[in-house]
């Protein structure tokens, strides 16, 4: 039985809703997350429990988020309140720091309120603020005024992984925990080096984090992303790092994948999929099942264990089998769990 006597660092623990595990030691959190994943597979798609590995820990259990979203509201007495809004509620929990936000962001919160108040438009009643930082430790924010989240190329943020700068912007999705990314990329590199490989298909590629970080392992890398802003950042990252063998396509995976697979002539094609929380559509699952003879190896990275298990049950019904399941703790102090599954073709 897990002990519940670790003192949470946050005064709003149990109220905010952002963290659910601060009352557990970090080792206990990792144990609990693996147990939850095991029980989920056991309930929805039973597999050999030995396939599920221990959880890869975050190097920093606190102060890991490089993005937070806050709400600020002007009161009738012309005062302002700024903080988190608990799920399903309208009230704002006013905060002056956050123990899971990166230190530079947490320390900046009081100054953020001052800056937002100073530029407050007369007709505004409330605003949702996005706050981000990067390897430079500089804090950027937006959310007041049209286009406040837009960034020009010279303003892009970045993180460095294995000698590559991966840029992202205020409005684009990027993994929230920068600290764990080097460990994840090292793990994926070591894993992929054991397989014959020529081409990497990076599906739902975003700004190109995985495809570009792993490009040295492949002669050709193809990125597919339907979000225009993320696609533009992917092209920027390709050009910035001078990667002639990496190509990015702005399309949905549903539309692009069948055509790209029909044109692929090389052996040893590896697929990497990192879909949103809703997981894979039935269309994409069908394409992956039909083309298992071309891909041979598939890495499925998921931020939602429920949709992951659903998709695996379908994929493994005829064309794929699970080699290993690798949980990764991108979100310490919370119940969220990232999972990487290695699948091998059975065709």
Give residue 269's pLDDT. Answer: 93
The pLDDT tens digits of the residues spanning 209-267 come to: 999 999 999 999 999 999 999 999 999 999 999 999 999 999 999 999 999 998 887 78
- Is 3 inside a domain boundary? no
- Is 278 inside a domain boundary? yes
> Is the confidence at residue 69, as pLDDT, over 60?
yes
Q: What is the pTM of this model?
A: 0.94
How far out from the chain centre does Cα 132 lie?
A: 14
Range of the domain at 83: 67-168
pLDDT band for position 1 (cuts 50, 70, 90): very low
> Is the confidence at residue 115, as pLDDT, over 80?
yes
Same domain membership, residue 198 and residue 328: yes
Task: Provide φ and ψ at 69, rounded to 5°.
Answer: -125, 120
Same domain membership, residue 202 and residue 161: no
Cα separation, 211 vs 217, in Å, equals: 10
Cα separation, 245 vs 223, in Å, equals: 11
Give residue 47's pLDDT. Answer: 97
- Is 121 inside a domain boundary? yes
Same domain membership, residue 206 and residue 146: no
* Domain termination site, one of 107, 138, 168: 168
pLDDT band for position 4 (cuts 50, 70, 90): low
Nearest to 262 by CA among 285, 290, 223, 281: 290
Higher-confidence residue of 76 and 5: namely 76
Same domain membership, residue 192 and residue 207: yes
- Is 16 inside a domain boundary? no
Mean pLDDT of the region 312-329: 97
Same domain membership, residue 278 and residue 144: no
Is 108 strand, coil or helix?
helix
Same domain membership, residue 108 and residue 35: no
Task: Provide φ and ψ at 241, rounded to 5°.
Answer: -90, 5
State both tokens at 136: 């430079």
* Domain termination site, one of 168, 200, 220: 168
- Is 193 inside a domain boundary? yes
* Domain termination site, one of 151, 168, 185: 168
Residues of the chain with pLDDT > 70, as a percent, come to 99
Same domain membership, residue 192 and residue 138: no
Same domain membership, residue 194 and residue 90: no
Same domain membership, residue 269 and residue 127: no
CATH code for position 331: 3.40.50.150
- Is 9 inside a domain boundary? no
Q: Is 98 an active-site residue?
A: no
Angle in degrees, 0-180, between the axes of helices 305-315 and 282-290, rounded to the nearest 10:
40
Is 253 strand, coil or helix?
helix
- Is 20 inside a domain boundary? no
Radius of gyration of the chain (CA): 21
Same domain membership, residue 107 and residue 248: no
Average pLDDT of the residues of the chain: 95
Nearest to 13 by CA among 76, 99, 88, 79: 99
Q: Which of 10, 16, 98, 303 is catalytic?
A: 303
* Number of compact structural domains in the chain: 2
Cα separation, 329 vs 143, in Å, equals: 29
Q: Where are the alpha helices (DSSP H) in the chain?
A: 26-44, 103-118, 181-192, 209-213, 228-240, 253-263, 282-290, 292-295, 305-315
Cα separation, 201 vs 123, in Å, equals: 48
Same domain membership, residue 250 and residue 225: yes
Give residue 64's pLDDT. Answer: 98
- Is 104 inside a domain boundary? yes
Same domain membership, residue 134 and residue 102: yes
């Amino acid at each position: 039985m897990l002990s519940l006597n670790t003192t949470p660092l946050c005064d709003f623990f149990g109220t905010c809703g952002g963290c659910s595990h601060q009352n557990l030691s970090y080792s206990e959190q990792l144990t609990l997350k693996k147990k939850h994943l095991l029980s989920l597979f056991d309930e929805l798609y039973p597999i050999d429990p030995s396939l599920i590995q221990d959880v890869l820990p975050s190097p920093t259990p606190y102060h890991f988020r490089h993005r937070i979203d806050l709400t600020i509201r002007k009161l009738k007495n012309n005062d302002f309140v700024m903080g988190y809004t608990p799920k399903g509620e309208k009230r704002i929990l006013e905060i002056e720091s956050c123990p899971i936000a990166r230190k530079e962001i947490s320390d900046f919160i009081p100054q953020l309120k001052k800056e937002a108040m100073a530029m407050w438009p007369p007709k505004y009643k409330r605003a949702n603020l996005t706050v981000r930082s990067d390897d430079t430790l500089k804090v950027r924010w937006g959310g007041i005024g049209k286009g406040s989240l837009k960034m020009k190329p010279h303003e892009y943020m970045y993180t460095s992984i294995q000698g590559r700068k991966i840029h992202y912007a205020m409005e684009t999705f990027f993994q929230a925990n920068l600290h764990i990314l080097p460990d994840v990329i090292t793990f994926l590199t070591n894993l992929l080096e054991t397989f014959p490989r020529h081409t990497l298909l990076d599906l739902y590629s975003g700004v190109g984090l995985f495809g570009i970080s792993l490009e040295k392992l492949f002669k050709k890398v193809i990125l597919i992303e339907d979000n225009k802003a993320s696609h533009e950042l992917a092209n920027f990252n390709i050009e910035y790092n001078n990667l002639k063998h990496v190509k990015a396509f702005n399309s949905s995976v549903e539309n692009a994948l069948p055509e790209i697979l029909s044109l692929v002539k090389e052996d040893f094609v590896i697929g990497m999929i990192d879909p949103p929380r809703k997981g894979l559509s039935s269309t994409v699952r069908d394409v992956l099942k039909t083309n298992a003879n071309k891909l041979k190896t598939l890495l499925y990275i998921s931020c939602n264990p429920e949709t992951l298990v659903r998709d695996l049950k379908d994929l493994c019904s005829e064309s794929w089998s699970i080699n290993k399941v690798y949980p990764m703790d991108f979100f310490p102090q919370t119940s969220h769990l990232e999972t990487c599954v290695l699948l091998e073709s059975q065709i």
